[in-house]
Amino acid sequence: MTRLFSHFQSSVGTKVILALTGVGLVIYVIFHMLGNLQVFEGPHALNSYAAFLRDMPILLWTARIGLLGIAVVHVVLAIHLSLNNRRARPIAYVIHGYRRASIASRTMAASGIVLLLFIVFHLLHLTAGIIGPASAGLIDAEGHRDVYGTLIHAFQNPLMVVVYLAGQVGLAFHLSHAVSSSVQTLGFEHAALDRLFKAAGPSVALLVVLGNVAIILAIFLGIVR
């Protein structure tokens, strides 16, 4: 038991936990995007989906608290690992070897900060209704919370569109490297599937970001109204 605990305190153990929490968050991001795509089916579909989730408060709050815990652990471990890496190399390299490193891998810290700030904004905006309170508390004709109307109201505002698109840029860069890196950290490596594993990150990032951007722009351009 002590050996197992010391293993997870090590750099390797930290990376494994970081990868596992990252995978959990990626799965949530994918399902969150797929659920929001119901905006293209109209207000009834999206609002009924949101009402279905709220009708299971125990499951909903368990998921929310679990996701919050995973996110906190992920952020804390990422900061811890970054600080340890800096202590291990106090003098920065004069020449950076960026030939093989992708832009996404070199900007993980920056994209992580952008993503964290965006998530906080998103929660205050569309979840808590603290930012943009005029769109909060809307009720549709069936008596459900009008999530559809809230999204329409939000993304008719050019400023909100810019903020959310900026958030998607951070998400794209972070997912692009994080997914492939997590696959590698968890030991899913094989010479025959090397290209497939490397393409996993960019592919997932493209899928998620295109889905989110499609929602934002479709509303802003009046395609969904």
DSSP state of 193: G
Q: Model confidence over 148-187: pLDDT tens digits?
A: 999 999 999 999 999 999 999 999 999 999 898 888 888 7
Q: Taking the alpha carbons of 78, 84, 87, 90 in that order, is the dihedral positive or negative?
A: negative
| Alpha-helical regions (H) of 89-123 | 103-106, 108-122
| Mean pLDDT of all residues in 125-130 | 86
Q: How many CA atoms lie within 13 A of 54 on its CB side?
A: 11
Q: Which two tokens stand for residue 8?
A: 């997870």
Range with the poorest average pLDDT among 56-65, 150-159, 215-224: 56-65
What rounded mean pLDDT belongs to the chain?
85
| Mean pLDDT of all residues in 130-141 | 73
Residue with tokens 């600080």: 83
Residue with tokens 């509303």: 219
Confidence at residue 148, expressed as pLDDT on a 0 to 100 scale: 94
DSSP state of 130: -
Q: Does residue 90 surpass a pLDDT of 60?
A: no
Q: Cα dist. 218→44, 46, 80, 122, 141 in Å?
A: 18, 15, 40, 19, 23
CATH of range 2-220; options 1.10.3470, 1.20.1300, 3.40.1350, 1.10.357: 1.20.1300
Residue 46 CA to residue 51 CA, distance in Å, equals: 9
Confidence at residue 99, expressed as pLDDT on a 0 to 100 scale: 47
Confidence at residue 170, expressed as pLDDT on a 0 to 100 scale: 95
Q: Does residue 41 surpass a pLDDT of 50?
A: yes
pLDDT higher at 90 or 106 = 106
What single letter denotes the amino acid at residue 44? H
Q: Does residue 205 surpass a pLDDT of 90?
A: yes
Q: Cα dist. 78→69, 72, 86, 109, 158 in Å?
A: 14, 10, 12, 9, 33
Residue 179 CA to residue 168 CA, distance in Å, equals: 16
